[in-house]
Amino acid sequence: METALHIQTKVLPGNRIEIESSKLAVGEEVEVIIVINKAKTKEQSSVIDAIEKIRQNRSSFKTAKEIQQQIQQERESWDI
């Protein structure tokens, strides 16, 4: 019967990892699967960067009147 252990660790100097568990026996064969958590390792942008990105995209925002006109034009293009 296979047993799974979920252990979190950090990469040590020299790009090494170390796993310790009392559930592992000396000499026992094990399979190790490494999952890199991208969400935690990804660089986070600052609040200022986020605000600047919003400002740059602001020109794509439309007024309620512009949206209504676009909807009306779409409706007029339908074949009835």
**Whole-angstrom Cα distance, residue 21 to residue 3?**
13
Quick: pLDDT tens for 47-67: 888 788 877 776 666 788 888
Model-wide pTM > 0.85: no
Quick: pLDDT tens for 3-51: 888 998 889 999 999 999 999 999 999 999 998 877 654 566 678 887 8
**Whole-angstrom Cα distance, residue 10 to residue 17?**
7
Beta bridge pairs of residue 12: 16
